[in-house]
Structure 1
């Protein structure tokens, strides 16, 4: 596979802290409407023992002028094209929250097809990819979309009150919701990579039972960790989530 242009790599992949001697990398995939900076605290906490990378999707922050990508499959293809030829000198683990969990699953499928299964897939705040709900948040008007964001408590409410900023971020958020709400798991067998599913016990986007469906997506080890809280449970349980990541990668960092 041809190596990507370094400028393209830097556009997609953010490295907040240098960790050249880390034995394993963790690639983090944001939620719908999220950005790479969401994972800055993870990078700060885990570096330099684990090198943390975060994906920056088009259509937000410094990539705001770029068109968003409309499907999970196309987004996974683009990230795979950038990551696959570069991150091959050390084991690569994946952490995705919400939409990012499904995107991580799709990226893992592509990496396994290359013969390079991820070390672990951490799937946070999302039901198994074969489960389906008839969700149509992306069809709501702007007020309805903002109401959804407030209900999930994933966005600063002061930011939501700024109409100018809202006009800038809502198109990317709507696009992400469209991508994840129209996603259907494609045909194909399970991963061989271990999967660790993490979920809040009061998450309106996934029940604990739906999160257990991740077990069907791997022939490797599976572990489910349930936390108190809603969709963004990880904000209140950062230390415990970091411990789960560390434990899941212990075989590579020992």
Structure 2
């Protein structure tokens, strides 16, 4: 449990029961009646990436962030190198949290994971997510032959630097980067070896968010998310690269907040 969560729960009735778990992190208090926003990190990312989003959206949502095995406080657990297996385990961990309207947000690898979790929710007969926000990722059926996970550590670090998504302070600390390599490499393998398995389109609407200079997904590849839902699919293009959302935090949060308020 995150430091201080137990004390906050005892003193503040706005904190839903449960606090945090091994898989699910709740950083901020929220109303028991608020819709739930579930956030899925990118390859090499952790739940703490969404801490600023949780703080900003706490007034209108119960924000949960998923912590994958093999990083931070879960660093001694085996990594999961198959995205379908990761989706199965994440869905199982999230099932107790699906007792109210849910919006899913995933960036990069997390976007595909959000999609696969939505499929599992519908397959299990659950209420479909109110919306999927898929960020910085091409549609599930668009495959690229990428093998970054097979490169050596120096090349993998160079890849991270080129995407500008890792804090320069961490990149400048070789010890931290070397410690993170196993989880980063495993996530890259999971994302790069993912293959879409044909199935019925989702019932949930999809909002696609992408940078106009994203080397990981073209705008045409992003538009193909429309093939994976019976509902509406919108594409919003921002100026920037793969981690455009760091520069456009205000606009991204406004889109998510509007959806949560509508729910």
Q: TM-score normalised to the size of structure 2?
A: 0.90
Q: Does 1:251 align with 2:262?
A: yes
Corresponding residue for 2:156? 145
CA contact (8 A) 1:125 1:200 kept: yes
Q: RMSD value over aligned CA atoms? A: 1.4
Aligned equivalents of 1:123, 1:209: Cα separation in 2: 15
Equivalent position of 2:217 in the other structure: 206
Residue in 1 that maps onto 2:172 = 161
Query: Take 1:17 and 1:227, find their aligned partners in 2: how far apart are those partners?
Result: 28
Corresponding residue for residue 108 of structure 1: 118
SS of the residue 1:197 aligns to:
strand
Which portions of structure 1, spanning 4 or more consecutive aligned residues, are displaced by more than 6 angstroms?
none
Q: Aligned partners of 1:223 and 1:247: how far apart in 2?
A: 14
Secondary structure of the residue aligned to 2:210 is: strand
Count of residues in Structure 1 that have an aligned counterpart in Structure 2: 245
Secondary structure of 2:80's counterpart equals: coil
* TM norm structure 1: 0.93
- In 1, Cα distance between the equivalents of 2:161 and 2:113? 23
Deviations 1:166-205 (A, max 9, x none): 2210110000000000001012111110100000000000
Q: Deviations over 1:100-146 (max 9, x none)?
A: 00000000000011222111110000000100111000010111100
> How far 1:21 moved relative to its partner?
3.0
User: What is the deviation of 1:93?
Assistant: 1.0
Give the drift of 1:18: 1.3
Correspondences of 1:60-75 after superposition (within 5 Å):
60-75=71-86
Instruction: Show structure 1 runs of 5+ residues with no match.
Output: 1-5
